[in-house]
Amino acid sequence: LQTELDEEACSLLPYEHFLIYSKRVLTPKGLTAAIVEVDKGKIVSVKEQSTPPTSSTELPVSDYGNAVIMPGLIDLHVHLNEPGREEWEGFVTGTKSAAAGGVTTVVDMPLNSFPTTISKESLQLKLLAANGKLAVDVGFWGGLVPENAENTTALDELLSSGALGLKAFMCPSGINDFPMTTASQIKAALPVLAKYGRPLLVHAEVQQPLEDGHPQLEEFTGLSSEEKRHYSTYLASRPESWEKQAVQELVNAAQITTAGSSAQGAHIHIVHLSDAGNSLDLIKKAKHDGAHLSVETCPHYLSFSAEEIPDGNTQYKCAPPIRHAENRASLWKALMEGHIDFLSSDHSPAPPELKLLEEGDFINAWGGISSLQLVLPATWTFGKGHGITLERVALWWSVNPAKLAKLSQKGSIEVGKDADLVIWDPETSFIVDENYSLFHKHKVTPYAGKTLSGQVISTFSRGNLVYHEGHHATKACGLSILSA
Ligand SMILES: NC(=O)NC(NC(N)=O)C(=O)[O-]
Ligand SMILES: [Zn+2]
Ligand SMILES: [Zn+2]
Residue 77 CA to ligand 3 centre (angstroms): 6
Residue 316 CA to ligand 2 centre (angstroms): 14
Quick check: CB of 183 below 6 Å from ligand 1?
Answer: no
Q: What is the pLDDT of residue 6?
A: 58
pLDDT in tens, 346-398: 999 999 999 999 999 999 999 999 999 999 999 999 999 999 999 999 999 99
pTM of the predicted protein model? 0.98
Contact 372, 76 (CB under 8 A): no
Q: What is the pLDDT of residue 5?
A: 57
Among the atoms of ligand 1, which is closest to the Cα of residue 203? Answer: 12
Quick check: CB of 346 below 6 Å from ligand 1?
Answer: yes
CA-CA distance, 254 to 285, in Å (whole number)?
A: 13
- Tell me if residue 169 falls in helix, strand or coil: strand
Q: Is the peptide bond before 320 cis (omega within 30 degrees of 0)?
A: yes
- CB contact burial 131-142 (16+ within 10 A = b; e otherwise): eebbbbbbbbbb
CA-CA distance, 347 to 434, in Å (whole number)?
A: 20
Q: Which amino acid is at 453?
A: S
pLDDT in tens, 89-123: 999 999 999 999 999 999 999 999 999 999 999 99
The interface predicted TM-score (ipTM) is 0.98
Neighbour count for residue 218 (Cβ, 10 Å): 7
CA-CA distance, 277 to 86, in Å (whole number)?
A: 37
Q: What is the pLDDT of residue 221?
A: 84
Q: What is the pLDDT of residue 227?
A: 97
Neighbour count for residue 338 (Cβ, 10 Å): 11
Pairing mode of beta strands 103-108, 73-78: parallel
Residue 208 CB-density burial (10 A; 0-12 exposed, 13-18 middle, 19+ buried): middle
Residue 279 CA to ligand 1 centre (angstroms): 19
Among the atoms of ligand 1, which is closest to the Cα of residue 319? Answer: 9
Quick check: CB of 347 below 6 Å from ligand 1?
Answer: no
Residue 244 CA to ligand 2 centre (angstroms): 15
Q: Span 448-463, mean pLDDT?
A: 98
User: Is residue 335 scored above 70 in pLDDT?
Assistant: yes
Average pLDDT, the chain: 97
Residue 33: partners with Cβ closer than 8 Å, 6 or more residues away? 21, 22, 23, 24, 25, 48, 49, 50, 51
Contact 112, 142 (CB under 8 A): no
pLDDT in tens, 241-299: 999 999 999 999 999 998 899 999 899 999 999 999 999 999 999 999 999 999 999 99
Element housing 267 (H / E)? strand 267-270
Quick check: CB of 173 below 6 Å from ligand 1?
Answer: yes
Q: Which amino acid is at 110?
A: P
- Tell me if residue 70 falls in helix, strand or coil: strand
Q: What is the pLDDT of residue 3?
A: 55
By alpha-carbon position, which residue is closest to atom 12 of ligand 1? 319
Q: What is the pLDDT of residue 53?
A: 93
CA-CA distance, 234 to 231, in Å (whole number)?
A: 5
Q: What is the pLDDT of residue 55?
A: 79
pLDDT in tens, 200-212: 999 999 999 998 8
Residue 254 CA to ligand 2 centre (angstroms): 19
Residue 412 CA to ligand 2 centre (angstroms): 27
By alpha-carbon position, which residue is closest to atom 5 of ligand 1? 368
Residue 396 CA to ligand 3 centre (angstroms): 18
Pairing mode of beta strands 17-27, 68-71: parallel
DSSP tag of 316: G
Residues with CB under 5 A from ligand 2 (ion): 203
Pairing mode of beta strands 30-39, 17-27: antiparallel
Quick check: CB of 203 below 6 Å from ligand 1?
Answer: yes
pLDDT in tens, 38-69: 999 999 999 999 999 987 889 999 999 999 99
